[in-house]
Amino acid sequence: MSVLIPASYVLAHETLQVDKKIDNRFNRKKGANLRSRELRNLDVELDCAEIKECDFSGFDESFIGDGWCDWDIGCYNTAACGFDGGDCCKESCEASTHKNKWLTCGMGGYVCMQEKSLDSYSTMFEIVSSESDLAEEGSAQYAAAMFIKFEDGDHALSPDDDRFLQRYIMSVFYFSISNGKYGTFQGASHECKWPGVTCSNKKIREIKLDNLQMTGSIPAEIFSIPGLESLDLSHNDLSGELRANIDDYDQLASLQLLNLSYNNLSGEISDGVLDYLNEIDDLNLKSNNFTDV
């Protein structure tokens, strides 16, 4: 594994905010933390796969176990460095052992390079998404998977969390549409606080995003949100076919309202999906371009 230390404005900005917190907490001279300074501007290629001990060019011991997952800097996120002293892996982090006890491990998001952890992510994604969609760079599924694994910050979830799939699926939905009036991606907040989402006990029950001038397509994954009762995407400009990547439609028995009217959806709805749709109490598909509805 070769790592190029990036000169990323976004990451530099994020870590600068953490640096300010650290400076204020310990009354240090402003900008004392190197993480957001020269180190962010280095372009040094390191072969982390060859590292047997936690020692490499630019290594700073203070970064180990400091509460921040240094996945994008040097080779901290490796087995040799204990995956940044546990900062990068939820399975191994122990906040109470950190030198800066006011920080929580994984403060910048868990980006664990431990093989077992990455495999568990893929296994969960493949419950609702196809391998081909996940592997295609540029697809909504690929973008959502990268966001969940590497960029989710304070809301990073382990694959065994009850909210993991609904957060991934809502991310797929966001990356499948062009915003219109939807607004900017709300990834920094709990998915129950995203526009149009209503939850009960932190589980998504209703999605109402009508009349927002949204374009793009409806991802099949949206129908796999456990316990979803109502989905209203009417009066937009959504196109493409209506699909559901599921084998057992019984898992959608909770859906009581589906309103996709006044869009540009088209194509033939498969018999399995159509049979299920006919069981929904409140179904509205009018003013689309379906061939068999």
Alpha helix (H) residue ranges in 60-113: 82-85
Q: Which two tokens stand for residue 256?
A: 């009581």
CA 221 – CA 172 distance, rounded (Å): 8
pLDDT digits (tens, 9 = 90+) for 210-228: 999 999 999 999 988 989 9
Across the chain, mean pLDDT equals 77
- CA torsion 149-152-154-157 (nearest 10°) is -40
Percent of the chain with pLDDT over 90: 28
At residue 43, the pLDDT reads 47
What parts of the chain have a pLDDT lower than 50? 1-43, 96, 246-248
151 DSSP 8-state letter: I
pLDDT digits (tens, 9 = 90+) for 118-138: 566 778 888 889 889 988 888
pLDDT digits (tens, 9 = 90+) for 31-43: 334 444 334 444 4
At residue 150, the pLDDT reads 74
Q: In the β-sheet with 215-217, what is the strand arrangement from edge to edge?
A: 177-178, 215-217, 237-240, 264-267, 289-290
CA distances from 269 to 191, 243, 265, 285 (A): 29, 7, 10, 11
